[in-house]
Amino acid sequence: MKFTDMLKKKKKEHTNMQENNDELNEQTAAEQDTIQQTAEETTQEPTAEQKLKEELAQANDKYLRLYAEFDNFRRRTTKERVELLQTAGKEIIVSLLPVLDDFERAFKSMDQATDVVAVKAGVELIHSKLNNILAQKGLKPMEAVGEPFDADLHEAITNVPAPTEELKGKVIDQMEKGYYLGDKVVRFAKVIVGN
């Protein structure tokens, strides 16, 4: 009887084990289905967090590209500005070279000249040529004598008693001419003002 009891006990254990295995298989299959569904959901639709991370990565990429582009633009404009400043006076210098040549010729002719009138006429021609070149570049002389004193245009050297009542507060004499370049004052006229 013991043997039969043992056999029954073994059969019972075997049946219990088989039932446990079946339950385990069912649980494992259910878990695998859940994992597969989760994986499918994950691959099908990214979560809001993933979308935000993706958008952030794209925004960072755009920002870095824009920053690099701006940095390149800044360097290029700085380089162009430096080049412009270095060559800004080139045009005016080249246009003044003929005047310099004329002055050199005038100096050579002054050594041998006996006629002062001819030398004076030559210097006047060179002066006229220089004024024409500067006028072409936008330089205009300022007329100050007889005009009312204006601190934006004139620099008063001194005040003297006005010879007439009309000249009070006006420019009586000019020590140095003032000049405009376009519409901007590039040198103030040094003047004597009547008081």
So what's the architecture of 140-195 in CATH?
A: Roll (2.30)
Percentage of the chain exceeding pLDDT 90 = 49
Q: Report how far residue 133's alpha carbon sits from residue 122's, in angstroms, rounded to the nearest whole number.
A: 17
Give the C-alpha separation, 153 to 144, whole Å: 9
**Is the pLDDT score of 1 beyond 60?**
no
Alpha-carbon distance 178 to 153, whole Å?
8
* Confidence (pTM): 0.53
Q: Would you state the pLDDT for residue 2?
A: 67
Quote the tokens at residue 122. Answer: 């030559």
Residue 21: predicted pLDDT: 67
| Separation between Cα atoms, residue 186 and residue 180, nearest integer Å | 5
Nearest partner of 91 among 134, 148, 41, judged by Cα: 134
Contact 131, 165 (CB under 8 A): no
Segment 8-36, tens digit of pLDDT: 777 777 677 777 667 767 777 777 777 77
Tokens 């020590």 belong to residue: 175
Distance, in Å, from the CA atom of 39 to the CA atom of 45, rounded to the nearest integer, reads 10
Tell me the pLDDT band of 38, cut-offs 50, 70 and 90: low
Please report, for the chain, the start and end positions of each structural domain, with discontinuous segments joined by +.
Answer: 140-195
Residue 40 has pLDDT above 70, yes or no: no
Radius of gyration of the chain (CA): 49
CA distances for 1 relative to 6, 7, 51, 69, angstroms: 8, 10, 71, 94
pLDDT tens figures, 105-164? 888 888 888 888 888 898 999 999 999 999 998 999 999 998 999 989 999 999 999 888
